[in-house]
Amino acid sequence: MTMLQFNGVHTYYGPIHVLKGVNYRVEEGEIVCLLGANGAGKTTTMKTILGLVRPTEGTVVFKGQEIGKMTPSQVVKAGIAPVPEGRRVFSRMSVSENLELGAYVRSDHKAIADDMSRVFDLFPRLKERRKQLAGLMSGGEQQMLAIGRAMMARPTLLIMDEPSMGLSPIFVERVFDTVQSINKQGVTIFMVEQNANMALTIANRGYVLQNGEVVLENDAASLLQSELVRKTYLGEAIEVS
């Protein structure tokens, strides 16, 4: 089943044309990775899914339902949970308060308590620190909290905007491990990443975005081998002829 589909989506910030007719497709159970340079439109893609940016043309379809005109709260209720860029944890709230807010759209208290235990199983670190203010934790712990918080909404699709940004190499690896284990629990993942090597290692498929257009689309293994990705994102030496 197709989880998420972009059909010729165009978006604008005022006069600036950002996404220029992009098409993405995310199948159920996949990890799909979106690569691109700064300003290519990766974050705009995430904002478009959430309903923070409206497509002027084209449709965004989630499980057969058009979500392009929905508000963020409707999108989250439909089953999409975001892990926003820069983590954006509620820094002056405790870890458990952050997780409770993640379950804001739900009202099944018993299941929420179970899910909180599940998040603590996934991140024992958070359990230790559940009474601590989120803002006093390290970047990696905050990223775990942001992921845990998104999981509290019991999403079917998790959208992640640069989960490895600003993290130490050990935490980057941990975050990608977590992404994989969440995926194994049946959650589909669509993520934006700068760390192409790591992202493509765990992803099923990937898209490369340049100036608002998809220039390359393939399964992850082939993308890792492709010349464009190797030269642009993996820092391989460009031969001067």
Partner 1 sequence: MATIVRAPQYRLPAWFQNNRRLTIGWGTTLIIALLFPLMLNPTGHIQDITGDVVEGEIYAMLALGLNVVVGFAGLLDLGYAAFFAIGAYSFGMLSSSHFLPSSSFSSPFISWGPNGIHANFWFFLLACAMLAALFGLILGAPTLRLRGDYLAIVTLGFGEIVHKVVVNLGPGSTINAFGWPDITGGTNSLDGIFQPSFGPVQFSTDQVPWYYLGLGVLAVIIVIAYSLQNSRLGRAWVAMREDELAAACMGINLRNTKLLAFSMGAFFSGFAGVVQGSRLTLVDPSQFTFQISISILVMVVLGGIGSVPGVVLGAGIIALLQFYLLHQLNDWMHLAGTTANIGLLQHIDLTQAQYLIFGIMLVIMMIFRREGLIPSSQRRRELRPADESVLAEENQSLYTVRSGEA
Binding site for partner 1 (CB under 8 A): 50, 52, 71-73, 75-77, 81-82, 84, 88-94, 96-97, 100-102, 104-105, 109, 112-114, 116-117, 120, 127, 130-133, 135-136, 149-150, 153
* Alpha-carbon gap, residue 137 to 91, rounded angstroms: 9
Question: At closest approach, how far in Å is the CB of 155 from partner 1?
Answer: 10
Question: At closest approach, how far in Å is the CB of 31 from partner 1?
Answer: 20
Question: At closest approach, how far in Å is the CB of 147 from partner 1?
Answer: 12
Nearer to partner 1, 150 or 189 (CB): 150
Helices (DSSP H) in 89-164: which residue ranges? 95-102, 109-122, 124-128, 139-151
> Distance of CA 194 to CAs 110, 111, 161, 186, Å?
38, 35, 10, 24
Nearer to partner 1, 42 or 149 (CB): 149
Nearer to partner 1, 25 or 77 (CB): 77
> Distance of CA 74 to CAs 13, 51, 68, 148, 191, Å?
22, 9, 11, 20, 20
Name the residue with tokens 């199983």: 121
Question: At closest approach, how far in Å is the CB of 115 from partner 1?
Answer: 9
User: C-alpha dihedral over 157, 195, 46, 12, to 10 degrees?
Assistant: -160
Nearer to partner 1, 29 or 72 (CB): 72
